[in-house]
Amino acid sequence: MEKHIKIISISTLSLLGVLCISSGIMYKSLEDNNIEEKILVVVEQKQISKEGDVDLKLKNLTIEVNTPLSVKIIDYLDSAVNDEVLANLKLDTSNVNVREPGTYNYTISYKKKTYQGIIIVKEKEISTNALQSITLKTVNINIGTTLPTDVSNYVIEPLTDDIKNTMLIDLSKVNVNLAGNYQYTITFNNSIYTGTIVVTESQPTLSTNIGDTPTNPNEQQEGQITIEDPNNTQAN
């Protein structure tokens, strides 16, 4: 008599029901066909992950100053986790100050265990092809004129916002209420550059027709900033 062996793989959760149903069907089939069969049942036990089985690996991140931190926990993980574990992770970046360069610690907690990673906040890098030195303007203003604080008004070279943010201007020695020559400085790329601001008294226009508008196109209007030959600019 020909013998057959069948292998059935089922989980422990459904073992009882499967055995009951299968036994009835197989018994009926054996009766009808009068065939002797041996059945080998392989039981697989479901693996249940425990808290101790989770071993998180966190990334060490490097960002530039003023870069917002991600709120997605997965961006900080250097190891794969399932959705159930991911949903129970808690991120803490409260010790990271993105406005100040430095090395900071952050943590991710899973149940009773805490994992620690590092975030390095660094100064914003300037391209090697970017501006390396500057030339300052000599500026003429009339008494009482308010000095602009935007450094692009004092530098001949065109400036991007990133470069302007690395400059520090000092206008503290300029007295706009007293005629004279004054020095101002701009600090950039570890160097101090010195320029000149000339404060002059307003020169009224004489006219025989009172109330007429001056027609001289070269006449300087009060409050106007003019640029002279920059050769007087010196860099320290």
Tell me the pLDDT tens digit for each residue of 62-102.
999 999 999 999 999 998 999 999 999 999 999 999 999 99
Q: For residue range 102-144, list pLDDT tens digits in order.
A: 999 999 999 889 999 999 999 877 664 578 899 999 999 999 9
Among 91, 122, 153, where does a domain finish?
Answer: 122
Residue 55, pLDDT score: 83
210 and 193, same structural domain?
A: yes
Identify whether residues 148 and 62 lie together within a single domain.
no
**What is the number of structural domains in the chain?**
3
Same domain, 98 and 65: yes
pLDDT of the residue at 203: 67
Within a domain: 133: no
**What band does 202 get if pLDDT is binned at 50, 70 and 90?**
confident
In a domain, 132, yes or no: no
Distance (Å, whole) CA 186 – CA 171: 9
My answer on whether 40 and 60 are in the same domain is no
Is the pLDDT at 195 greater than 70? The verdict is yes
Q: Of the residues 122, 151, 178, which one is the last residue of a structural domain?
A: 122
Same domain flag for 230 and 151 = yes
d(CA 234, CA 152): 17
Terminal C-alpha separation, the chain: 107
* Residue-level pLDDT at 121: 96
Q: Say what the pLDDT of residue 33 is.
A: 56
Q: Is residue 134 part of a domain?
A: no
**pLDDT tens for each residue of 142-187:** 999 999 999 999 999 999 888 898 999 999 999 999 999 999 999 9
Residues 147 and 230 reside in one and the same domain = yes
**What is the residue range of 80's domain?**
51-122
Residue 124 is predicted with a pLDDT of: 79
DSSP 125: P
Q: What are phi and psi of 121, to 5 degrees?
A: -100, 120
Of 219, 180, 199, the residue nearest 141 (C-alpha): 199
Burial of 83 (0-12, 13-18, 19+ CB in 10 A): exposed
Answer yes or no: do 56 and 103 share one domain. Answer: yes
Using DSSP, state whether 74 is helix, strand or coil: helix
pLDDT in the model for residue 162 = 85
Task: Say yes or no: 217 and 149 in one domain.
Answer: yes
Within a domain: residue 127?
no
Measured CA to CA, the distance from residue 139 to residue 154 in angstroms comes to: 8
Residues 39 and 55 in one domain: no
86 shares a domain with 58: yes
Q: State the pLDDT at residue 222.
A: 44
Which CATH number covers residue 113? Answer: 2.60.40.10
Place of tokens 């000599």: 138
Check whether residue 114 and residue 145 sit in a common domain: no
Confirm whether 130 is domain-assigned.
Answer: no
- Write the pLDDT tens digit of every residue in 25-71: 555 554 555 555 555 555 554 444 454 567 899 999 999 999 999 99
Give counts: helices (H), strands (E), the chain: 3, 12
The pLDDT assigned to 151 comes to 94
Question: 117-156 burial by CB neighbour count: b if 16+ within 10 A, else e?
Answer: bebebeeeeeeeeebeebebbbbbbbeebebeeebeebbe
Position 89 in a domain: yes
Q: Is residue 98 part of a domain?
A: yes
Whole-angstrom Cα distance, residue 139 to residue 198?
6
CB 108 within 8 A of CB 87: no
Unique residue bearing structure tokens 């706009």? 176
φ, ψ for residue 201, nearest 5 deg: -75, 150
Could you tell me if 120 and 93 are in contact, meaning their C-beta atoms sit under 8 angstroms apart? no
The partner residues of 37 in beta bridges, in order of sequence, read 4
Same domain assignment for residues 149 and 214: yes
